[in-house]
Amino acid sequence: MTIKTSLVWFRRDLRAFDHAALHHALRQSQAVHCVFVYDTAILAMLPRRDRRVDFIHASVAELADELRQLGGDLIVLHADAAEAIPRLAAELNADAVFANHDYEPQAITRDTRVAAALTHETRLWFSFKDQVIFEKDEVLTLSAKPYTVYTPYKNAWLKKMRAEPGCLAPLDIEPHAASLAPPRSGTPAPLPTLGELGFEASNLAELAIPTGMSGASRLFEDFLPRLARYDVARDFPALKGPSYLSMHLRFGTVSLRYLVRTIVDLMDRGGGGDGAPVWLAELIWRDFYAMILYQNPHVEGGAFKPAYDAIAWETGPEADAAFAAWCEGRTGYPLVDAAMAQLNQTGYMHNRLRMVTACFLIKDLGIDWRRGEAYFALHLNDFDLASNNGGWQWASSSGCDAQPYFRIFNPITQSEKFDAGGRFIRRYLPQLKALGDKEIHAPWLVPRMLLEQKNIVLGRDYPEPLVQHDEARKETLARYAVVKVVA
Alpha carbons 321 and 458: distance in angstroms, whole number: 18
Active-site hit among 83, 135, 285, 475: 285
User: Which parts of 427-478 are beta strand (E)?
Assistant: none
Active-site hit among 125, 326, 392, 394: 392
Alpha carbons 142 and 156: distance in angstroms, whole number: 10
Active-site hit among 282, 300, 314, 475: 282
383 is in an annotated binding site: yes
- Assign 137 to helix, strand or coil: coil
289 is in an annotated binding site: yes
Active-site hit among 344, 351, 410, 444: 351
Active site residue 282: yes
Active site residue 313: yes
Active site residue 392: yes
394 is in an annotated binding site: no
279 is in an annotated binding site: yes
Tell me the angle at which helices 334-346 and 369-379 cross, rounded to the nearest 10 degrees: 40
First-residue to last-residue Cα distance in the chain: 54
283 is in an annotated binding site: yes
Cβ contacts of 436 within 8 Å, gap of 6 or more:
none
401 is in an annotated binding site: no
Active-site hit among 135, 313, 416, 444: 313
230 is in an annotated binding site: yes
Instruction: Classify strands 3-10 and 29-39 as parallel, antiparallel or unpaired.
Output: parallel
Tell me the angle at which helices 105-120 and 81-92 cross, rounded to the nearest 10 degrees: 30
286 is in an annotated binding site: yes
Active-site hit among 369, 381, 388, 439: 369
408 is in an annotated binding site: no
Active site residue 100: no
Cβ contacts of 262 within 8 Å, gap of 6 or more:
220
Cβ atoms < 10 Å from Cβ of 100: 22
Alpha carbons 380 and 354: distance in angstroms, whole number: 11
Cβ atoms < 10 Å from Cβ of 216: 27
382 is in an annotated binding site: yes
244 is in an annotated binding site: no
Contact (Cβ atoms closer than 8 angstroms) between residue 336 and residue 363? no
Please state the residue numbers annotated as binding site for FAD.
230, 279, 282-289, 382-384
Query: Residues with catalytic annotation?
Result: 282, 285, 313, 351, 369, 392
Please state the residue numbers annotated as binding site.
230, 279, 282-289, 382-384
